[in-house]
Structure formats: C-alpha cells, structure tokens
C-alpha cells in the first residue's frame, strides 16, 4: 500500500527500462533539467515495489522488458495507483502497443529514439493536469463552505482552457475566439443575457478534454490514423467528466460533451440526432467549426471567408449543421462583426 502523498512526491518520477544505458541517460537528463526526485527500476516488478513504498507523479516505462513488460505495469498502476500517470516508450515496430497503452489509460507515449524536449513537454503537462485536479478538489471543498468560491472555480477553469490552447501553436486563442463567436450568435438569436453568458462559458471550455491528447496527435501535419482519430474523439467525453464534479459548471457540461455531435447522427461521442442536440451545443458546434476552418492548422492553411461560408452551407445541406444557426453566423460575417473575432489571417477576405 502506497504511503500518503507528501508535497515532495508531486514531482517524483519513476523511470523503468531494462536497458541500463537508456534508463540512466534519461534519468540523468531529467535531473539536469531540474527534476531532483528520480528513481530507476529495471523492470515492472521492481517498479511496483517502488510504487508500494511511496507515491510517484509519473512513471515512464519501456514497453518491452523481461519479468514484467510496460503494458502489464500500466494495467497494475492504473488499478492500484490511480493517482500516478504513466507514459510509455516504444520502438518503431511496437507502435500498435503504444496506441493500445493510450487506450488503456497511458497519458502519452514516445517513439525510440525519443526527443528529450518531447519528454519534458509531457512531464510538464502531467504536472499541470495533476495540479489542476488537486486545485479543482480544493476549490470544490471550499465552495461547500463559501459560495463566493464559485467565481474562483470559474477563473480556474478558464485558466485551464487557456492552457489547452497553449499546448499547440495552431490552437492559440482558439477557445477564446470560439467563445466570442458563440456569444455573438447567442445575441443574434436574441437569447437572454444569462443564456448568452452560459453558452460563452461552455464555448471557452469546450476543448478542455484535449489536455489528455498527446501533442504528437494534436500537431500531426497529416491525416490521423484510425487509432489516432479514436483517441482524438475521446476529448469531448473526457472534458465533460473533468467538469462534471464542479457544481458551477454543471450547466455547461452538455456543451462540452456534445460540441462534435451532428444533426444526422454522424457525430460523437453519443451519435445524437436532431432535437436530441440542444441549441447551446449546436451554437458551440458551429462556432468551433468556423474558427477551425478559418484558422491555421498543422495540416492545412486557413480558408477564406467565402470558402468557409460555402463549406458551412454544404454541411447544412447535408443535414449535419443547424441551418438557422448558420444563417445567423453568416449575418454576423456579412455585417462585419466577425472581423472583431476572426483569426487575423482571414480578416478582409470576404
């Protein structure tokens, strides 16, 4: 049984690899990078012994090892030490095992020969996620005693949304723009001020679940493989579950979970159809879509305003997007209101 977590354990890292040279090189690099609490283990069994003696924030493990391999170690850690995240190291011929590890709860994976900056990026994301989870729990407990903490919870979650955008140079300010577009649409649809504020908040938080998506998938310059796409498609449900325990965010959970649902049932994660998708989720869906296709992405250049309008019109004609919401979007574009919101690369193209 692991001992109770101390503050010093919050940045403790366990490096597991049967190849001593790789293990020691990685551990030495991490120590030189400012991570002082590094423990090494040559296989899964020794790693479990270390985990039973104390708490670790992160386990970095090779997949192919004698005695106990990385996938079995991952399963044991998820079952007995759920507070610990796991990243796996895989060779070029073992990529399917890395994808399986992600599906089984690994936080990230690295392909040999891995780049040290990738390892550092994952470690920082793990620490950010765990800090935010601890902070979320702390603030929830405070909320039970003081209703004024609602404002702090909202600020905390908005900071988390900002972290999501900063994960990739291609998504910088995406959530903020999506929220501004959603607010504009809510006002155009003549919704109440409270409803507009709620929708704008949901739009700001819609991609929170991407915190758990590996950078190599988020920033991939080409099409995703079916397995990679399956991992990407998990982010709406993950985001909803992250926000669900926070009472002041209950009104926006549905928008976070359903912002990739389509009216014809082809969306995800629940395949909702028609009126099963509430108006707020439809507004966030089309706001997110507009900003995505008019902004730079790792796999393509932004569309012009006219091209984006044609694409949205085609999606409406195919029965995937809400035509009434789209008409209000086009009104905002043609009136010039969108220039205040749209990514700089597309301004003035209409």
Same structural domain for residues 84 and 208? no
Length of the chain: 350
Same structural domain for residues 34 and 95? yes
Residue 137 covered by a domain: no
Residue 259 covered by a domain: yes
Residue 114 covered by a domain: yes
Same structural domain for residues 114 and 207? no
Residue 213 covered by a domain: yes
Same structural domain for residues 113 and 206? no
Known catalytic residue: 220? Answer: no
Which pLDDT belongs to residue 145?
66
Same structural domain for residues 63 and 162? no
- Find the domain containing 309 and state its range: 147-346
Same structural domain for residues 176 and 258? yes
pTM assigned to the model: 0.64
Which pLDDT belongs to residue 151?
59
Residue 87 φ/ψ, nearest 5 degrees: -120, 140
Name residue 300's beta-bridge partners.
Answer: 297
Same structural domain for residues 152 and 124? no
Which pLDDT belongs to residue 171?
57
Same structural domain for residues 194 and 340? yes
Same structural domain for residues 173 and 99? no
216: Cβ–Cβ under 8 A, 6 or more apart, which residues? 118
Which pLDDT belongs to residue 346?
43
Tens digits of pLDDT across the chain (350 residues): 343 344 556 789 999 999 999 999 999 999 999 999 999 999 999 999 999 999 999 999 999 999 999 999 999 999 999 999 999 998 766 778 888 899 999 999 988 888 899 999 999 999 998 888 888 877 777 666 666 556 566 677 677 777 766 665 555 688 889 999 999 999 999 999 999 999 999 999 999 888 888 888 887 878 889 999 999 999 999 999 988 877 788 899 999 999 999 999 999 999 999 999 999 999 999 999 999 999 876 666 889 999 999 999 999 999 999 999 999 999 999 998 887 776 554 433 33
Same structural domain for residues 110 and 151? no
Residue 134 covered by a domain: no
CATH number for the domain that contains residue 256: 1.10.3210.10
Please measure the distance between the N-terminal and C-terminal CA atoms of the chain and give it in whole angstroms: 63
Residue 141 covered by a domain: no
Active-site residue (options: 143, 210, 233, 339): 210
CATH number for the domain that contains residue 63: 3.40.50.2300
Residue 220 covered by a domain: yes
Residue at which a domain ends, from 96, 128, 160: 128
Residue 42's SS3 state is coil
Which pLDDT belongs to residue 313?
97
User: DSSP for 289-347?
Assistant: HHHHHTS-BTTBPPPPHHHHHHHHHHHHHTTSS-HHHHHHHHHHHHTTGGGGTS-GGGT
What six digits make up the tokens of 252? Answer: 């926006």
Residue at which a domain ends, from 76, 98, 128: 128
Instruction: For 186-303, list the strands marked E by DSSP.
Output: none
What six digits make up the tokens of 141? Answer: 């407990």
Residue at which a domain ends, from 128, 159, 180: 128
Number of domains in the chain: 2
Same structural domain for residues 50 and 88? yes
Same structural domain for residues 95 and 234? no
């Amino acid at each position: 049984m692991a001992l109770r977590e101390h503050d010093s354990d919050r940045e403790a890292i366990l490096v597991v690899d049967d190849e001593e040279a790789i293990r020691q090189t990685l551990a030495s690099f991490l120590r030189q990078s400012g991570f002082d609490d590094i423990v090494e283990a040559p296989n899964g069994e020794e790693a479990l012994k270390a985990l039973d003696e104390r708490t670790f924030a992160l386990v970095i493990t090779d997949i192919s090892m004698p005695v106990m391999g990385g996938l079995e170690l991952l399963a044991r850690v998820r079952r007995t030490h759920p507070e610990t995240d796991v990243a796996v190291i895989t060779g070029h011929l073992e990529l399917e095992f890395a994808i399986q590890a992600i599906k089984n709860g690994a936080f990230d994976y690295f392909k040999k020969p891995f780049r040290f900056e990738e390892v550092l990026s994952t470690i920082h994301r793990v620490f950010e996620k765990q800090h935010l989870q601890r902070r979320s729990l702390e603030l929830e407990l405070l909320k039970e005693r003081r209703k004024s903490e609602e404002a702090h919870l909202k600020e905390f979650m908005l900071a988390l949304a900002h972290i999501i955008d900063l994960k990739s140079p291609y998504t910088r300010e995406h959530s903020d723009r999506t929220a501004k577009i959603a607010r504009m649409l809510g006002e155009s649809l003549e919704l109440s001020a409270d409803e507009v504020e709620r929708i704008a908040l949901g739009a700001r938080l819609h991609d929170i679940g991407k915190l758990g998506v590996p950078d190599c998938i988020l920033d991939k310059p080409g099409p995703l493989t079916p397995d990679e796409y399956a991992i990407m498609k998990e982010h709406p449900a993950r985001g909803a579950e992250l926000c669900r325990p926070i009472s002041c965010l209950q009104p926006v959970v549905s928008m976070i979970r359903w912002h990739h649902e389509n009216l014809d049932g082809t969306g995800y994660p629940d395949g909702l159809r028609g009126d099963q998708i509430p108006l707020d989720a439809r507004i966030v869906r089309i706001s997110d879509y507009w900003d995505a296709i008019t902004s730079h992405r790792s796999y393509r250049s932004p569309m012009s305003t006219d091209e984006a309008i044609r694409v949205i019109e085609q999606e409406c004609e195919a029965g995937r997007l809400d035509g009434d919401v789209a008409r209000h979007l086009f009104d905002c574009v043609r009136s010039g209101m969108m220039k205040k919101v749209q990514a700089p690369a597309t301004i003035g193209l209409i």
